Homo-oligomer: A and B are copies of this chain.
Amino acid sequence: MTAAVLRNSQPAPAKPARLTRARRTVLLKALADPRRFELLEKIARAGCPLGCAQARAALPISAATLSHHIKELETAGLISIRREGKFHFMSLRPGVLESLASTLSALEQVPCGPAEGQPR
């Protein structure tokens, strides 16, 4: 926990590898499906690599659909999969969400117009 907190307490000084437009779109599309996001949440929250069976148990979808979503997340570069025999374990790829988040935040830095707070 301390390590995580430390990593977090440094204000992440804006180096998360700028995203191309195409990549940004791919990421956003991958995240825009609610079930897929939920899956990603499970993977992220698990901390340790998550097995497909566990994912399966957590989501009310068929194996085929789960496989589809996993492939999407992997293709988008959001997760990586370690394949061990017939089991596959998924883990969050570090830094990717960070990059996207900072891309989004960057848009908020309005350079000029102060008035449009409540245009009402």
Contacts and interface: CB of A to CB of B under 8 A. Distances in A.
Interface of A: 1-4, 7-8, 11, 21, 24-25, 28-29, 31-34, 37-38, 40-41, 44-49, 80-82, 89, 91-92, 94-95, 97-98, 100-102, 104-105, 107-114, 116-117, 119-120
A112 B44 CA distance: 10
Task: Report how many copies the assembly holds.
Answer: 2
A119 B82 contact: yes
28 contacts: A1-B112, A2-B114, A4-B109, A4-B110, A4-B112, A7-B114, A8-B110, A21-B34, A25-B32, A25-B33, A25-B37, A28-B28, A28-B31, A28-B32, A29-B32, A44-B107, A44-B108, A46-B113, A48-B116, A49-B119, A80-B116, A91-B119, A92-B108, A92-B116, A94-B110, A94-B117, A98-B108, A101-B104
